[in-house]
């Protein structure tokens, strides 16, 4: 399944099919309500079919979640239409970048253009466009579509998944006990003392039919395995979404799908470009797909920042991303 082509072309084509041909006033209203991009009459340069085209897919926790404005999921989809190849490159949220911050805070600091520039400096790929999804909105969309089927990469338990709305609960601890645990513990060890704030979640390896809420937990869980494991789970969820939407497309539910996803997808891709990309990509089944997970198993090392944060840095040292660029290229 060609996830990248879908997210860049298929979703964009849904927007195109729905909005193209409507009176301009209606298209403008759709833009206002869904934060989509309406067609324009500006000069359009056709997509280069002889080279690669890269788009970054961004995911955030959204309203009501701790750190919900941070970009905790970053997957670059790079497509080479000439050679029928594509790569999905996962960039870990804890990667330390110039400016002395984690990359998941880069868009907050410097906007989407700053994030694109930073990603280009890390990977060597020119990031043409972005597509952003709010995971909180995603669960509503998944439930509206009847859930999704996901091939879960491995079994895991997370005994510390945060319960929404209980972030500040005292869990029956007295003021004296709260003061005591604050003196004794810091960071996550401190948070663990407030046991009523957490729930235990479990997933078995293999194919499972899951709801939107379960998809969110699967995507966001941070204590069942590593961030690299979480990246693999997010890949699996995106593939499940693709499979679901292909099924809905075959059932001629394009309009319902558009209405659902236009509420949660934000992008700087204009509709003409989306339509052109869909033409250029051709048949997804003809592409060879590579999944690239930047991790401590290849080009990164674990360490701590000057203020004690867990971070990932290039094995080449400092902000030397040359080895990462070479690894991606190969």
- Kindly state the average pLDDT of the residues 169-174: 94
pLDDT exceeds cutoff 60 at 27:
no
Residue 247 forms part of a structural domain? no
Residue 153 forms part of a structural domain? no
Q: What total number of domains does the chain contain?
A: 1
Residue 209 forms part of a structural domain? no
pLDDT exceeds cutoff 50 at 49:
no
Range of the structural domain that residue 38 is part of: 3-144+261-329
Can you give the pTM of this predicted structure? Answer: 0.70
pLDDT exceeds cutoff 80 at 18:
no
Residue 207 forms part of a structural domain? no
Please tell me the predicted confidence (pLDDT) of residue 50. Answer: 54
Residue 246 forms part of a structural domain? no
pLDDT exceeds cutoff 60 at 301:
yes
- Kindly state the average pLDDT of the residues 255-269: 70
pLDDT exceeds cutoff 80 at 253:
no
Please tell me the predicted confidence (pLDDT) of residue 109. Answer: 92
Q: Which of 66-70, 139-143, 249-253 has the highest mean pLDDT?
A: 139-143
pLDDT exceeds cutoff 60 at 76:
yes
Please tell me the predicted confidence (pLDDT) of residue 235. Answer: 77
Please tell me the predicted confidence (pLDDT) of residue 280. Answer: 66
CATH of the domain at 70: 3.30.420.590
- Kindly state the average pLDDT of the residues 81-92: 84
Residue 311 forms part of a structural domain? yes
Please tell me the predicted confidence (pLDDT) of residue 41. Answer: 34
Please tell me the predicted confidence (pLDDT) of residue 37. Answer: 34
Residue 297 forms part of a structural domain? yes
β strands within the chain, DSSP E: 52-60, 71-80, 85-90, 96-97, 101-102, 127-134, 148-152, 156-162, 198-203, 206-210, 265-267, 288-293, 300-304, 310-314
Return the minimum-mean-pLDDT range out of 113-117, 215-219, 283-287: 283-287
pLDDT exceeds cutoff 60 at 5:
no
pLDDT exceeds cutoff 70 at 23:
no
- The two tokens of residue 301 are 């090392």
- Kindly state the average pLDDT of the residues 139-143: 76
Return the minimum-mean-pLDDT range out of 121-125, 177-181, 202-206, 210-214: 210-214
Mean pLDDT of the residues in the chain: 77
Please tell me the predicted confidence (pLDDT) of residue 274. Answer: 67
* DSSP letter string, 203-265: E-SEEEEE-HHHHHHHHH--SSS-HHHHHHHHHHHHHHHHHHHHHHHHTT-HHHHHHHHTTTE
Please tell me the predicted confidence (pLDDT) of residue 262. Answer: 67
**How far out from the chain centre does Cα 155 lie?**
21
- The two tokens of residue 282 are 């051709």
Residue 78 forms part of a structural domain? yes
- Kindly state the average pLDDT of the residues 6-35: 38
């Amino acid at each position: 399944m060609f996830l990248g082509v879908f997210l860049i072309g298929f979703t964009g084509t849904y927007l195109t099919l729905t909005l193209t041909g409507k009176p301009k006033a209606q298209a403008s209203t759709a833009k206002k309500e869904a934060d989509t991009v309406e067609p324009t009459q500006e000069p359009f340069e056709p997509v280069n079919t002889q080279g690669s085209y890269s788009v970054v897919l961004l995911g955030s926790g959204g309203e009501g979640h701790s750190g919900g404005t941070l970009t905790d999921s970053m997957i670059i989809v790079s497509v080479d239409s000439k050679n029928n190849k594509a790569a999905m490159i996962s960039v870990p949220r804890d990667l330390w970048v110039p400016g002395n911050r984690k990359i998941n805070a880069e868009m907050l600091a410097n906007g989407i253009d700053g994030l694109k520039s930073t990603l280009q400096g890390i990977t060597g790929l020119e990031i043409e466009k972005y597509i952003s999804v709010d995971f909180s909105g995603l669960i509503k969309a998944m439930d509206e579509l009847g859930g999704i089927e996901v091939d879960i990469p491995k079994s895991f338990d997370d005994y510390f998944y945060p319960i929404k709305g209980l972030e500040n609960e005292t869990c029956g601890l007295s003021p004296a006990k709260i003061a005591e645990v604050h003196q004794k513990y810091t960071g996550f060890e401190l948070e663990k003392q407030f046991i009523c704030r957490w729930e235990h979640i479990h997933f078995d390896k293999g194919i499972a039919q899951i709801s939107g809420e379960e998809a969110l937990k699967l995507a966001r869980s941070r204590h069942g395995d590593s961030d690299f494991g979480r990246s693999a789970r997010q890949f699996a969820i995106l593939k499940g979404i693709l499979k679901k939407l292909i099924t809905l497309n075959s059932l001629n539910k394009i309009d319902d799908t558009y209405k659902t996803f236009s509420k949660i997808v934000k992008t700087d891709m204009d509709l003409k470009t989306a339509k052109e990309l869909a033409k250029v990509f051709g048949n997804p089944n003809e592409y060879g797909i590579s999944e690239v997970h930047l991790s401590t198993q290849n080009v990164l090392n674990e360490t701590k920042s000057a203020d004690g944060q867990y971070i990932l840095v290039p094995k080449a040292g400092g902000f030397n991303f040359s080895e990462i660029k070479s690894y991606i290229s190969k």
